[in-house]
Structure 1
């Protein structure tokens, strides 16, 4: 039992720190904007650059795992996240953009590395729950950012807060070293066996996904769902402080509640996908709730009760932040033996592409219209359409 849980705990901790690194700048964006003079809505561009870097590194993650092992790759990822945060602390716009790309290079291979480890150690009937539990690292990292970063900013300043989070990433990289030999060595045979088939080019994962309708459709679904997720996590604090007129520290607490709901949601949805509800039916249902939450954000104003805003935040967190474990477990199920890491990296190319394009586009919409409501309403309509598509095409997906 202990050996089976070790990969889960290690990957969970690494995922949490990488997620915290990616979301730290959006959380402190209002305070950084006051100091630098850059608009806070540029947080959408920053997060888009993070995932632009992640798109590229996710495609080569399979080759990196083959060569170095999943834990070693994860350690390098954490160090890249730390370096990117230090660059962002410069306060210079171009250097901050470079820092976002470096964080993305580190963020991209984290999930494929963990999928490689967990796919070979998890029984098929526990895939949904195990992958969802591991993926709780993403909202846990977001909750850590929402709860700790505003306090760090208030006490030491936004640049020092970035340095502290960078230090945490470096510490986690060091803490994972004692288990690296055992975990990387255990998967060495799989890596060697699959390595020859993975040397056909960087875009081989994309070709394999596009040739497999179940993987192709779930990857395209992830494009839109990830856009909703990052819309919530990137703009929540900014929306709460600028539109709802909430105090900065309280806005961080609300974000932490949403991230906490994401943790609960990932566990609940993973359990349901394993035992009661087909994964694609569940993904369709979650998309419908996401669309309703985005419509709720669009309609909410300063006169709304705090309780109503909190309910919407929790519901959006449980769904828009909670869907990933079901998705990743389904990718692992559909992948040939030993290729979960490679094909996860390929599907994540689509996932990250949604993040790269939509949050910056929303920044443009908000800038052009001066309205968060228009941007959130557009996301609601698109998400509703995607959720309906996934639900209505379920028989064809299952048949394939």
Structure 2
């Protein structure tokens, strides 16, 4: 976009606006360019500035211009193909298909597709929109996503994540372990049984029924969440962090779904949520929904290995209180976490030290080990609550 004054005069103190929101400032006439336009860039654009005729004038506004951005193709969706759709000898395997839809006026545009497991590419860009999961991987619980792009990569979009739960019952070599896990989960849900009791009942009927440790861990998590898959649960988030650490130890490109939304990018949260801000610069850092609660540890006894005092002489009656919050990663942490296993967490605005992180885990002041750990010291942040009537914030 280009903004010029009367008779093509230079405009100073130039602002560009998108839907009445300032998006860019220049000292003098400069074109405003959106490098990779998306549908969200559509709207009404306007510019304002001053001219020297011969002295500097008051700010003047241009007429609004409507800009409509049409996407070349929609955000792709990854899905599992049904057995009827699969041709040839692959009917016993899992076949993923990356689907999107081109703009009606650009139907002849060729697209390429790539497939990823977690953050590792399992198939580079190619013309085929289908990917067959190798048989040894089918028995595992994996997360995949795909990417669609033009041949020049000038336009590329990624799909949401797709997990493959329960596919081993139909597609794995034997299907024994996953089949047992599914039946056990059904008994837990319908009869409100603990994992141990449901598994015991199943083995009473079918003694050869066995499942691997991974499924046992998932079913115990399922029980802890009240027989529901609650992705907002703190224990689910902690489990997901642990699995990502195991699956992708190099940590060079973490899944975006792993990060909580930066509170500065959203104007409002839930009414009961608490907002935590940097005590020094007041920058919003995280919400109460990102805190991963944990059971208190054994207090001073847990640190006996670091002390000269014998462990039997340490008092066990007084439980040490937690002096830090352990939270899920937030979007503003991403650049800090990539490529390293531990380090400091600094405020993204004022660089004040907030805490630390360690993918191998850290010990809370109460003695409990948290793995992985993203630790924010309580004395470095302020707790802000919303008043229910006035809608203003109160500091604690």
- Which interval holds the TM-score relative to the shorter structure? under 0.3
Higher relative contact order (CA 8 A, sep 6+): 1
- What TM-score do the two structures reach when normalised by structure 2? 0.20
Higher percent of residues as helix: 1
- What TM-score do the two structures reach when normalised by structure 1? 0.20
Higher percent of residues as strand: 2
